[in-house]
Amino acid sequence: SFREYRPRVHVQFLDNGTKVSALNPKTYVFEPEKSVGDPEVDLIRTINIPAVTAMEWTRSTPLQFATEVLLLLYQESLFTVHSVHELLWGYRDRLLSTIHVLHPEIDPVFGLFSKMNGSDDGEYVFLSGETNYLNFSRIVEWKGKESLSWWTTEACNMINGTDGTSFHPLISKDENIYIFSSDFCRSLFLVYDSSGAVAGVPTFRFVPSSMVFANTTVNPANAGFCVPAGNCPGTGVLNVSVCRQGA
């Protein structure tokens, strides 16, 4: 278990207080008393993501020939064993390190949260709610852009809702809550699930709708997330390789 800290920094008010720009760095701190085991010691056998990514590169990229040679040379396995710490925060991969020499834009270090501890995911511009409380903390720009460019439809490239850390007041059970997640490279929406209480304060619990990751026969609008167009994964799966260096 890790505790996540998400402060807002470099906060600036814009357009007479109607907008706010800020960075949102994330820091993760290991919580040993809430964990079982030691991330530095415990090993996991899992998919060798760098090797699988390299195999994908050999299909139709400038890296094709060099990667094929290196895969034959190193005889990379489809599975690999690393510590929890290495898989989360990064390890220097032999294959990626060699490719990095030929193509410096390829990072030699791979980890599911590599370079994400203590770093931010770009500048956000939010609405302050000054003119309409329903717009409180709604994102209008991320990294200087009002929409994404990874997906194949305008609707799927929209940046909708907040970043998930705050929402407008007076939320009702009947509404959908929209959030944008840079980790998922897309926007998604949440629906009311149940009521509860935290420290005596009444709460509503919202969860992702089953439609968010439904296949295109159930939710045709998800066809825009099929990359390349027509290459649609099954229900519950999202291909985020378009914003993860092909991984």
Q: How far apart are CA 180 and CA 186, in angstroms?
A: 6
pLDDT of residue 61: 64
pLDDT of residue 64: 65
pLDDT of residue 60: 64
Q: What is the share, in percent, of the chain residues with pLDDT greater than 90?
A: 67
Other beta carbons less than 10 A from residue 98's beta carbon:
17
* Cα–Cα distances in angstroms (integers) from residue 242 to residues 53, 115, 148, 220, in the given order: 12, 18, 11, 20
The answer to whether the pTM exceeds 0.85 is no
pLDDT of residue 103: 80
Residues of the chain predicted below pLDDT 50? none
Helix, strand, or coil (residue 57): helix
Listed residue (241, 211, 219) closest to 151, CA to CA: 241
Where are the domains positioned within the chain?
43-110, 132-243
Q: What would the pLDDT profile of 31-80 be if each residue is shown by its tens digit?
A: 999 999 999 999 999 999 988 888 777 776 666 666 667 776 667 778 99
Pairing of strands 2-5, 91-92: unpaired
pLDDT of residue 105: 83
In single-letter form, the type of residue at position 48 comes to N
